[in-house]
Structure 1
Amino acid sequence: MVDSVRGRALLLGGTGAMGSHLTRMLARDGWNVTVTSRSNRSSDNPRVSYVRGDAHDRRFLTDMLSQGWDVVVDFMVWSTDAFRGVCDSLLSSCRQYVFLSSYRVFADSPVIDERSPRLLDVSNDAGYLATDEYALAKARQEDLLKTSERGNWTIVRPAITYSVGRLQLCTLECGDWLTLALAGHAVPLPAEMLSRQTTMTWGGDVALMISRLVESKRALGEDYDVCTSRHQSWTEVVRIYRSLLPLEVRKVSLNAYERACGSPWQCRYDRMYNRVMDNSKVLAATGLTESDLADPADGLAAAAVDTLRRGTPTPAGMRRLGRLDRLGGGLFGPAAYMQVASASCTGYAKYLAGRLMG
């Protein structure tokens, strides 16, 4: 650890797959790092402190921003209206504001770079555009930054980011698909989606790229796709997982899968596209090369091993788990269900309700 202090960094909601890595990297590089979290956390690193609170609470956010920061990295998920209300406060609180957007803002393109068309700008789906779905919200918030009077922002767009306990399979997080797979139940997935290309990046590599952009004058007023350029089909992702654990896939229709998941937008306007990324801009800005980033085959396998060692995460929702299990042809009996993470009698009733209602 370096002795001199480079500055003070605030990470809003920075305890997830990217934020936890970024906290360690910034502290190692000489930053004093404060991280907001909705749960109590402690640190044995003198350069890292945690403050309990929800940055969506305006009073809490105002108090945190008023302390003055060199860098603010924002991992929060905002509605567009909420972000509009706090955008100026975020920008005025620091010398550099790093906004976590998403590669999902982009429309279907053979290869995606920072100049590729966004869904917000080219979609003709009036029903979709009337929503504030995640991809649209991120794009609208990017526009609020770009049209602000301040230019001290940096937009970063991760692609799918994996880490321990965060292993995606099509639109499913591992709390859902891993729960089914380890119980010997088939995981329902759309046949069309399995053939699509996806870009998956280790959370530590995303954090590394962001850490190299922090306090970079060249990065002010710029946007970067922070990801690997390596890509593979979802069928190949299945193969990687299957090499480490029992995973049976049941191919289903896209419509049935959308109903079970509960929302069509991520399926139609992301996972059904071939997501091949060009990361040359961020590599040039950070001095990194593709060989500095983890190969997805190795990284996913390592993250899966660590996830299995630590235990399966909680499913996203018990009703949804029931709908997915029905679609896959499985059924948890009462005793088997009680082995599911965070199982309860109420949860089992929700699971059965989801499975019966489809």
Structure 2
Amino acid sequence: MEKESWAYRALKGRSIVFSYDISSKYTTLTYGHDVARAIASLLGNESALGEVFHITQPYSCTWQEILEIYLHTLKEKLGKEPNVYMTRQSLYIKYPNKKWQVEKDRLYNRFFDNSKINQYIDTTTFLKPSEGLRMCLTEFIDNPLFSQPYLRDEIMKDKLTGEYTSISEFSSIKVQLKYLIGRYFMPISKI
């Protein structure tokens, strides 16, 4: 999910919450620079007009493998590997605004046939997912920029893991009070 959901917690010393239902699924991640190179290889090429291409890596990996890359990189940069709290099912399946990202993007294996784009660029020269993810996360850790943490997420994840978010991480007294009420007084089923 978004960096506010996992990287934020890891950089604040709290557990990353991840789910078994997503961890075994395959995805294909392609480094942005490689996508740009592939698009550039199509520009001005008449045989590419009106065609649809999968501009992807030739390699797929599981979300568990991606998590392990993140954990290894975080350990290298921070000196300590974050804890991971595994749930049976993604917490986001219950959230109307996040449900579809889980159902339509994370809960099925995503393999792509990139043979068509290989007529224009050799995708085996693309940065491997492990290298691209490590590089991007390393750059991000050196200059982290987050939106406001998601209040509901932090309450739910703190309740599950037995951890606490400092109220100073929230932007207003109103949000701080909502966190405290949710964290200490609301049952997890009501969050």
In the alignment, what sits opposite 1:211? 40
- Alpha-carbon distance, 1:316 to partner: 6.4
Q: 1: distance between equivalents of 2:37 and 2:62?
A: 25
- Match 2:61 to one of 222, 227, 232: 232
Identical amino acids, percent of aligned pairs: 28
Residues 113-148 of structure 1 show CA distances to partners (whole Å, capped at 9, x for unaligned) of xxxxxxxxxxxxxxxxxxxxxxxxxxxxxxxxxxxx
Higher radius of gyration, 1 or 2: 1
- Report whether the alignment pairs 1:332 with 2:165: yes
Residues 155-208 of structure 1 show CA distances to partners (whole Å, capped at 9, x for unaligned) of xxxxxxxxxxxxxxxxx1112211111222222222121111111111111111
Within-5 A mapping of 1:126-145: none
In the alignment, what sits opposite 2:23? 194
- Report whether the alignment pairs 1:244 with 2:79: no
Q: Say which SS state the counterpart of residue 17 (structure 2) adopts.
A: strand
Give me the CA root mean square deviation. Answer: 2.4
Q: 1: distance between equivalents of 2:150 and 2:129?
A: 28
Which structure has the higher relative contact order (CA within 8 Å, separation 6+)?
2
- Alpha-carbon distance, 1:320 to partner: 3.5
Larger fraction in strand: 1
The verdict on how the C-alpha distance between 1:210 and 1:334 changes in structure 2, with shifts beyond 3 A counting, is same
- Match 2:6 to one of 168, 171, 177: 177
Q: Say which SS state the counterpart of residue 243 (structure 1) adopts.
A: helix
In the alignment, what sits opposite 1:282? 117
Within-5 A mapping of 1:142-161: none
What amino acid maps onto 1:187 in structure 2? Answer: I
Q: Say which SS state the counterpart of residue 86 (structure 2) adopts.
A: strand
Q: 1: distance between equivalents of 2:133 and 2:92?
A: 24
| C-alpha contact 2:21 2:90 (8 A) present in aligned 1 | no
Within-5 A mapping of 1:1-358: 172-245=1-74, 246-254=81-89, 256-259=91-94, 262-284=97-119, 286=120, 288-315=121-148, 317-335=150-168, 337=169, 343-349=171-177, 351-352=179-180, 355=183, 356=186, 357-358=190-191
The verdict on how the C-alpha distance between 1:325 and 1:200 changes in structure 2, with shifts beyond 3 A counting, is farther
Residues 211-263 of structure 1 show CA distances to partners (whole Å, capped at 9, x for unaligned) of 22223222221111111121111111111111121332211132644225843
The verdict on how the C-alpha distance between 1:292 and 1:354 changes in structure 2, with shifts beyond 3 A counting, is farther
Structure 2: unaligned runs, 5 residues or longer: 75-80
The verdict on how the C-alpha distance between 1:213 and 1:257 changes in structure 2, with shifts beyond 3 A counting, is same
The verdict on how the C-alpha distance between 1:178 and 1:315 changes in structure 2, with shifts beyond 3 A counting, is farther
Q: 2: distance between equivalents of 1:175 and 1:283?
A: 35
| C-alpha contact 2:18 2:84 (8 A) present in aligned 1 | yes
| C-alpha contact 2:167 2:179 (8 A) present in aligned 1 | no
TM-score between both structures, scaled by the size of structure 1: 0.45
| C-alpha contact 1:190 1:252 (8 A) present in aligned 2 | yes
The verdict on how the C-alpha distance between 1:175 and 1:255 changes in structure 2, with shifts beyond 3 A counting, is closer
| C-alpha contact 1:187 1:249 (8 A) present in aligned 2 | yes
**Count of residue pairs brought into register by the alignment:** 180
| C-alpha contact 1:200 1:231 (8 A) present in aligned 2 | yes
What amino acid maps onto 1:277 in structure 2? Answer: F
Structure 1: unaligned runs, 5 residues or longer: 1-171
